[in-house]
Structure 1
Amino acid sequence: MCCGSKRLIIVDAVYDEFMDKYRSSVAALRAGDPHDPVTQLAPLSTQSAVDMLAEQVKTAIDSGATAERLGEAVPKQGAFFQPTILTDVKPDNPAYQTEFFGPVSLVFRVADEDEAISVANASIYGLGGSVFTRDVVRGERVARRIETGMVFVNHPTVVRADIPFGGVKNSGFGTELTEFGIREFVTNKVVGVVDIDAPF
């Protein structure tokens, strides 16, 4: 899903605690039939999607990233991909600007708020983002500095009919939904009428 969380940017003060909990949560994901209510990790759309994702991960590793494959082995039947966390992804690694459409997340460790914003804005994509913090005022301040079409504070990116949906940079060509989406179908035209005897 193009607005799914793929890049996690964690400040140093909470990084270790976050990673312990995140690894445990990813490892506990239950793969299976998407129609089964207990399934938390469904297969990808096709085997070619799995192959492409595997190649992207391999390229990331070959370029210096560290990969952790977590959880029980996914089923061999079906287009499943083992949940993977990539760390140590530097700006010169192709993964830095790659969208991974599957259970692969990139985790960046940063010193502070400013570095977090810098890493977030270094992406060539800009659809959605989230800021998680106990300080909501600070969260809104950070959200306003992030270069994406949508940013939510203390909530994952959502798609709802009553909220405009759209991104910036290489993420989309305008806005969908609400009156802002309707305006995308309209071309504004200016017609100026001035009296013939008026000076210009």
Structure 2
Amino acid sequence: GSVRAGAAIAQLAGAALKKCVLELGGSDAFIVLADADLDEAVRSAVLGRFGNTGQVCLAAKRLIVEAPVAAEFEARFVAAVKALRMGSPRDEANFIGPMARYDLRDELHGQVERTLAEGARLVLGGHKVEGPGNYYEPTVIADVQPGMTSFREELFGPVASIIVARDAQHAVEMANDSEFGLGGTIWTRDLERADAMAAQIETGAVFINGDVATDPRVTVGGVKKSGFGRELSSFGMHEFCNVQTVWTDRR
């Protein structure tokens, strides 16, 4: 849910002295380093950003790409997004469906327009689709900088923001430059470096060379304005347990 809704729920829970778990919004960084397998990184970025028409909390949203491969990644990514078919979800050949509500589509379009006015470059899409249904074109915005709307805010729809990083450390810094901290992704062939980077990223989860996902065996939850507490796995089961300690002196 939204940060506003989560704060309201936390207030009610606090007043009743009840525990609660909040899994709120996210603006997950999808980091692509220069040594990444670009074929797999592009495939994952397309699925991670445009799955469910981009309406997923735990999903690739800010695509942070190391400078040496930024142009090639952008070209491949845009070509893959162009190939996505939009239309009724009743047709399994379609990948992009309608958004949940008209007002959410209008809000998303406003975020895109503000980002472009702030100096970003529109590469693909950027328009509402006329006719029945809440359709929005699959959109790619490049040259996004920290402070711009699509960098600061969560874009909950089929819009991808491409951000160029000088190097791996710069990528980590920009990943952490967010009010949110739900998930994140790192693509690199250097797994030792990826492990070190993951430890620096301020999120509830980091996926290395794989799609962001949920699994009953793996805990899910965020930090910062993405909420607190955990779902799934043993951590999720213990969130709502009242643990009792029984200690007996056997002397």
TM over 0.5, yes or no?
yes
Q: Quick check: 1:67–1:87 contact (8 Å CA) kept in 2?
A: yes
The alpha carbon displacement at 1:50 in A equals: 0.9
TM, length-normalised to structure 1: 0.87
Structure-2 residue corresponding to 1:78 = 133
Which position in structure 1 is the counterpart of 2:20? none
- Give the partner amino acid of 1:30: R
Quote the offset at 1:148 in angstroms. Answer: 0.7
Distance in 2, matches of 1:126 and 1:83, equals 25
Equivalent residue for 1:157? 212
Runs of 4+ in 1 over 4 A off after TM superposition: 187-192
Measure, in 1, the Cα distance between the counterparts of 2:182 and 2:242: 23
Higher helix fraction (1 or 2): 2
Over aligned residue pairs, what C-alpha RMSD do you find? 2.4
Structure 2 CA distance, aligned partners of 1:69 and 1:12? 20
Compared CA separation, residues 112 and 88, structure 1 to 2 (3 A): same
User: Match of 1:47?
Assistant: 102
Question: Which structure would you say has the larger Rg?
Answer: 1
In structure 2, list runs of 5 or more residues that go unmatched. Answer: 1-55
Asked if residue 13 in structure 1 is aligned to residue 68 in structure 2, the reply is: yes
Higher relative contact order (CA 8 A, sep 6+): 2
Name the % identity: 37
Q: Does 2:193 correspond to 1:138?
A: yes
Letter in 1 for 2:147: D
2-structure distance, mates of 1:10, 1:51: 28
The answer to whether the 8 A contact 2:187-2:209 is kept is yes
The two structures have a TM-score, normalised by structure 2, of 0.71
Decide whether aligned partners of structure 1 residues 154 and 75 sit closer, same or farther in structure 2, where only a CA change above 3 A counts: farther
- Partner residue of 1:178? 233
Residue ranges of structure 1 left out of the alignment (5+ in a row): 193-200
Deviation at 1:189, TM superposition (A): 8.0
Structure 2 letter corresponding to 1:90: Q
For residue 113 of structure 1, the aligned residue among 152, 168, 175 is 168
